[in-house]
Amino acid sequence: MNVEQAVIQALAANGRNAYADAPNPMPSEFVTVERTGGGDRNQVDAATLAVQCWADRRKRAADMADDVRSELKELTGTGGFGAVTVQSIYNWPDPQSRKARYQLTVSVVAHV
């Protein structure tokens, strides 16, 4: 299992515009998922992900982050996901596009 792609697919199945990289042109709202660390051992992948919620307004990006947090937690025990834990959520606006963005730091334990 590619954890990054599996999370993107799960978010897309919930109706989210979810990508590995910010698309060009950018939709008004979307989510990106980027693996930032972790490793595997004995067919278990312990991945760290940066999940970013992008929107035109800060309040909407914050609301998306709250909703995505719930969607991620619901993955626990399904489709090869053993545990999904959201470690943090914080405001991180993108200076280049000037879009509002909230980032979630997420730990995922999955069967490989």
Per-residue pLDDT tens, the chain, 112 aa: give them. 999 999 999 999 999 999 999 999 999 999 999 999 999 999 999 999 999 999 999 999 999 999 999 999 999 999 999 999 999 999 999 999 999 999 999 999 999 8
Residue 63: phi and psi, rounded to 5, are -65, -40
**CA angle, 37 then 55 then 93, to 5°:** 60
**Which structural domains are found in the chain, ordered by start?**
3-111 (3.30.2000.10)
43-81: string of b/e by CB count within 10 Å (b at 16+)?
Answer: eebbbbbebbbbbeeeebbbebbeebbebbeebeeeeeb
Instruction: Tokens for 67, please give them.
Output: 């909703």
Q: State the number of CA atoms in the 13 A half-sphere of 48 facing the CB.
A: 8
Q: Tell me the backbone φ, ψ of residue 96, rounded to 5 degrees.
A: -75, -50
Q: What is the pLDDT of residue 60?
A: 98
